[in-house]
Amino acid sequence: MNNYNEIKTDDGRSLKVALEKSLFQKKLNSFLLVTPLLLFIVVTFIFPIGDMLFRSVENQIVSETLPKTVNSLNSWDESKNVLPSENTFRAFALDLSKSIQLKTHTRLGSRLNYEMTGIASAFRKSGRKIKKWDLSNETNFKEKLIKIDKKWGNIEFWKLLKLYSPKYTNGYFLNSIDLKKTSEGFSRKSEDERIYILLFKRTIFMSITITILCFLLGYPIAYFISNLPIRKANLFLIMVLLPFWTSLLVRTSAWKVLLQQEGVINDILVSIGFVDNLERFQMINNQFGTIVAMTHILLPFMILPLYSVMKTIPKDYVRAAKSLGANNFISFWRIYFPQSIPGIGAGSILVFILAIGYYITPEIVGGTSGTFISNRIAYHISSSLNWGLAAALATILLIAVLFLYYAYDKIVGIDNIKLG
């Protein structure tokens, strides 16, 4: 028998080499086919997450805007509670003068204002004054700067400046869990400033509640549809999918109309005498309103995975259990329900992950007690422009979701999830 390596193709090449080249070409073609999708995922998913993780620890603006001041503060001992030397104030004035020309001093002021209120206005005020100075002939920088704004004479500012002078910081993450960075390490914020732990707890609690309600409502509906003939089942599925064809904003606004004190539901309850006209239920701008509206919005994401799994469960198993003497409940609980668990897992993960990141619906119907941590993230991105803190909060939320994914994989197994 000829050796495999000695077999030749028609053009005289080794068959082994020709096969390897052909396989390589097929793999290359397959890779080129998925390259657009890979690039899309990198640009729209991986890169934004990487940028978010970087922003949550990035703090280069202090050292880049005030390089001479940062170098001078390295030799300053803040534990003595004495203001830095004249040289540090001179370096600060020189750095501030340069940053005024580059128009970066206001950005630095905004950054430090997140940690100490009033710093932004001090930078703007000093910027207008220092522009008129002739720094080459100026003296007594400490006295003149303090005269411009008393905050430059506050030792806490200089401690803060030294504390946030490194290019990377954990300050945003500490703020995210109601702590603040200090020269000794960290300490708890005052009680009236502790809002993020409360928001995280509320977000987790309400997301779990919404997931449970979606399961309790969605399971019977999916079970009912899966046992219908195909034509009727398709009709009911269209009804389930109908909300997807309506704007999320419209659906949320509709619940606001229904649930408000002068809304439709309260009017019906008053008309039948269930409640007094002066004691109407407060069903909006609270947790109840958020839970009701979000349960309605997310319910299809529970029904569809459940239906897709239930449709594949053989009905013969339940009939066999009944023929062996099991009643309806036993045959359902021991035979049917265990086979529907993959659908429950898929629906629960979908609903929980979507709920934990929702912010439009809680913003409209949640009031002060029904908002999520995502509303605070949106506020820092669009209003306060504290992107570092927003990134840190989003990173913690991402870690919570990944932990849920890991826990589900260990308990149930990700391979058991079925979406269809």
Q: How confident is the prediction for the chain on average, in pLDDT?
A: 87
The residue written with tokens 């005020």 in the block is: 125
pLDDT of 90-130, one tens digit each? Answer: 999 888 888 988 888 889 998 888 888 889 898 898 888 88
Q: How does DSSP assign 37-54, residue by residue?
A: HHHHHIIIIIHHHHHHHH
User: pLDDT-derived band of residue 5, with 50, 70 and 90 as boundaries?
Assistant: low
SS3 category, 152: helix
SS3 category, 255: helix
- Predicted confidence at residue 208, as pLDDT, reads 94
- Is the predicted pLDDT of residue 218 greater than 90, yes or no? yes
- Predicted confidence at residue 194, as pLDDT, reads 87
- The Cα-based distances of 271 to 256, 260, 281, 344 in angstroms read 20, 16, 14, 40
185 vs 53, residue with greater confidence: 53
CATH number of 196-416: 1.10.3720.10
What is the pLDDT averaged over residues 148-158?
A: 89
User: pLDDT-derived band of residue 34, with 50, 70 and 90 as boundaries?
Assistant: confident
Task: Give the C-alpha separation, 142 to 159, whole Å.
Answer: 16
Q: Range with the lowest mean pLDDT among 20-29, 38-47, 151-160, 407-416? A: 407-416
- Predicted confidence at residue 11, as pLDDT, reads 65
pLDDT of 201-214, one tens digit each? Answer: 999 999 999 999 99
Task: Give the C-alpha separation, 311 to 309, whole Å.
Answer: 5
- Predicted confidence at residue 1, as pLDDT, reads 46
- Is the predicted pLDDT of residue 367 greater than 50, yes or no? yes
Give, for 119, the enclosing helix (H) or strand (E).
helix 119-130
Domain boundaries, the chain: 4-55, 60-167, 196-416
6 vs 243, residue with greater confidence: 243
User: pLDDT-derived band of residue 10, with 50, 70 and 90 as boundaries?
Assistant: low
- Percentage with pLDDT > 70 across the chain: 95
User: Given CA atoms 92, 98, 100, 103 in this order, what sign does their dihedral have?
Assistant: negative
- Predicted confidence at residue 6, as pLDDT, reads 61
- Predicted confidence at residue 129, as pLDDT, reads 86
User: pLDDT-derived band of residue 302, with 50, 70 and 90 as boundaries?
Assistant: very high
The residue written with tokens 């290019």 in the block is: 167
pLDDT of 50-97, one tens digit each? Answer: 888 999 999 899 999 999 999 999 888 888 888 998 899 999 988 888
- Predicted confidence at residue 198, as pLDDT, reads 92
What is the pLDDT averaged over residues 280-297?
A: 90
16 vs 381, residue with greater confidence: 381
- Percentage with pLDDT > 90 across the chain: 25
